[in-house]
């Protein structure tokens, strides 16, 4: 991957840019506590955006199985951490994912991994929800997919726009989850159940 190569050749421009930001903030990047900060922040940013260049196929390939199972599969409370593309501040919460198989199922551990691929990019929650749902639909060609994402956004909470810690809830329903109110209701009922 491009980022790994950049790190190996020692040409990552991010540490120098972070140092410039520290100076612009009025800090002394040479003081003990900040000395390693540009490198640390560069590593953290690379890690938190390592979903770029990873395709859903990279994650799911080899874990899709032919299976004659036609009941709804639901995976709840998958934690995620992402960075909003407007402020590069964290937003984080949970994915709830359901699909109705049509001859193919995916290994369960792959769903959280697929969540991470989309969360580890600069994101909008709305887009992330839709991208994830479409990727799962593309990989499994199921009868339908439902995705609900609940998240807190630090760019709202820390900046005082909204101090209440309210959650933003987004959803994307495809196929039977969109067309059939009963399927959608069954999914949402499973998601709500604690």
- Residues assigned a catalytic role: 84-87, 125, 153, 155
Among 18, 59, 83, 84, binds Zn ion (CB under 5 A): 84
Q: Which two tokens stand for residue 139?
A: 């990989």
Q: Smallest Cα–Cα separation from 188: which of 148, 145, 135, 136?
A: 148
Output the smallest distance, CB 80 to Zn ion, in A.
16
Among 64, 73, 74, 155, binds Zn ion (CB under 5 A): 155
Q: Which stretch binds Zn ion (CB under 5 A): 75-83, 119-127, 134-142, 151-159?
A: 151-159
Output the smallest distance, CB 133 to Zn ion, in A.
22
| 151 touching Zn ion, by CB under 5 A | no
Q: What is the DSSP string of 112-174?
A: HHHHHHHHSSEE-HHHHHHHHHHHHHHHH--SEEEEEEEEEEHHHHTTTS-TT-PPEEEEEEE
3-class secondary structure, 76: strand
Which residues in this chain contact Zn ion in the complex, by CB under 5 A?
84, 86-87, 155
């Amino acid at each position: 991957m491009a980022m790994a190569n950049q790190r190996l050749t020692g040409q990552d421009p991010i540490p120098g840019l972070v140092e410039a930001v520290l100076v612009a903030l009025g800090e002394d990047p040479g003081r003990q506590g900040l000395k390693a900060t540009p490198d640390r922040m560069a590593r953290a940013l690379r890690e938190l955006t390592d979903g770029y260049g990873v395709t859903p196929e990279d994650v799911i390939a080899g874990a899709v199985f032919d299976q004659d199972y036609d009941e709804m599969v639901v995976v709840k409370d998958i934690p995620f951490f992402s960075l909003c593309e407007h402020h590069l501040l964290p937003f984080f919460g949970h994915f709830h994912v359901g699909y109705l198989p049509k001859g193919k199922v995916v290994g369960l551990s792959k769903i959280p991994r697929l969540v991470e691929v989309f969360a580890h990019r600069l994101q909008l929650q709305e887009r992330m929800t839709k991208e994830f749902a479409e990727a799962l639909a593309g990989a499994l060609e199921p009868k339908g997919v439902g995705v609900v994402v609940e998240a807190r956004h630090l760019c709202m909470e820390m900046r005082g726009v909204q101090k209440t810690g309210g959650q933003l809830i987004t959803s994307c329903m495809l196929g039977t989850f969109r067309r059939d109110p009963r399927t959608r209701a069954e999914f949402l009922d499973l998601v709500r159940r604690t």
